[in-house]
Amino acid sequence: MRSDAASAADAAPLTVSELSAALAAIGGFEARPHVAVGVSGGPDSMALTLLAERWAEERGGRAIGLTVDHRLRPESAAEARLVAGWLAARGIPHEILVRPGDRPARGIQEAARAARYALLAGWCRAHGVLHLFVAHHREDQAETHVIRRGAGSGVDGLAAMSAVRELDGCRLVRPLLAVPRTRLAAFLADAGQPFLHDPSNLNPAFERVRLRLGGWAVPPDEILERTQACGRARIERGAALDRLIGRAVALHPAGFAVVGVELLATAGGDGAERLLARLAAGIGGGHYPPRRARLARLRAGLAGMPDRARTLGGCRFVRWRGRLLVLRELAAAAAPVGLEPGANLVWDRRFAVTVPAAARPMTLGYLGQSGAATLAGRSPACDLPPLVHPVLPALWDAAGLVAVPHLGYRRDGVGALPSFALSSPNGITSAGFTVV
């Protein structure tokens, strides 16, 4: 049973100084921070927006609220305008970002989450805002831990959400992970700030809602302690894995990796599987890491039958000259796309492509087996393993193959060509997990 002092602390409004201390522990902000806050209009995000604005103002910076209208409910547009009016009354700038496309037929929450982060990060990237704040709090963190425990997650999964996550072009910051929901509600009550009620938060079709309606078998603060202990263990494991990657892995800008088999063998079962997971996520560019059972099968297969190629997470794992090649699986790769002069895009979730304005229209795709065979007799000035050639970015026009930049091949008289930068959303090494 919780003490009276603990219960009283959970009822006290969160202060700007407490938010400041949490952000100082996270670190890495500008002298005059310009931050965005994802604000749905619910109590948690409204409280964070008001607190973040005061925190930024104290440092000569500013905060802006961003509301994503998913268009999943008829009243969503009016609600977004209501949030805009509330923030305008407090002098806080605000923008509404509308999710394009039709309502997803399935996986509504997952699709909405992906669209929300894509829109928020895209806005931050376009406006030079380095930090995006979101209002996940103690109970959200506890729910994540419980859900992952039920799914059989290991230590990394049970660490739940990190206080910092790298998005494309900005840092996602969660400064409230140790803050009870009640303290955010108390802050809004003190501030006299109304908020919205999202009906999906009462829909038992969603697992999180069922947890909330069923009550806590273990108090959230005790679950948070377990989660933070897992987070600290994850940090130690992550540092060890990064050291192993630094010794064992060479990553090529053409989008493949070469791994020292001896070092992989000395990593132990868990270390080797975590390294293979990082490689599969980074080279394959998948949305989610491979499942533990599949990683265990891959490790066992590579050890037991090393000369047999394996696939996992959109990657092929192939022995080559006593080492392990990890390359894109051609069958899982993105389809070719047309490139117009001046275009900028990310292709196959792996390559950032910049097309000069002076370039001619072309098609981008992987070279493929037939293209590699055609090019083999032309002796390109490159020593990349032949196994890799079919999964190298290549350019075509109406006359045929134009260029394979990573092989040093280009047709005579082509002119300006696009540039490629490896830009997987899942780095082989990643931002460190952060506990607050």
3 state DSSP class of 40? coil
Amino acid 151: pLDDT: 87
Instruction: Locate the domains of the chain by residue range.
Output: 4-231, 253-331, 333-422
pTM for the complete prediction?
A: 0.82
Amino acid 416: pLDDT: 93
- d(CA 165, CA 159) in angstroms, rounded, equals 13
257 close to 276: Cβ distance less than 8 angstroms? no
Residue 90's CB: how many other CB atoms inside 10 A?
A: 14
Amino acid 423: pLDDT: 86
Amino acid 47: pLDDT: 98
Please, what is the Cα angle at 155 between 154 and 156, to 5 degrees? 95
**Could you say which residues of the chain have pLDDT below 50?**
none
CATH T-level assignment (fold) for domain 4-231: Rossmann fold (3.40.50)
Strands (E), 263-422: 310-312, 315-320, 323-328, 337-339, 344-347, 351-354, 362-366, 393-397, 400-404, 409-410, 419-422
Amino acid 202: pLDDT: 65
Name the helix (H) or strand (E) containing 146. Answer: helix 138-150
- d(CA 165, CA 142) in angstroms, rounded, equals 18
**17: Cα separation from own chain's centroid:** 29
Amino acid 381: pLDDT: 59
Amino acid 109: pLDDT: 75
Q: What is the dihedral of CA 380, 382, 384, 387, to 10 degrees?
A: 10
Amino acid 211: pLDDT: 77
Side-by-side strand order, sheet with 344-347: 344-347, 351-354, 419-422
pLDDT tens profile 367-384: 999 999 888 766 555 788
Q: Which of 259, 255, 242, 328 is closest to 299 using CA atoms?
A: 259
- d(CA 412, CA 392) in angstroms, rounded, equals 20
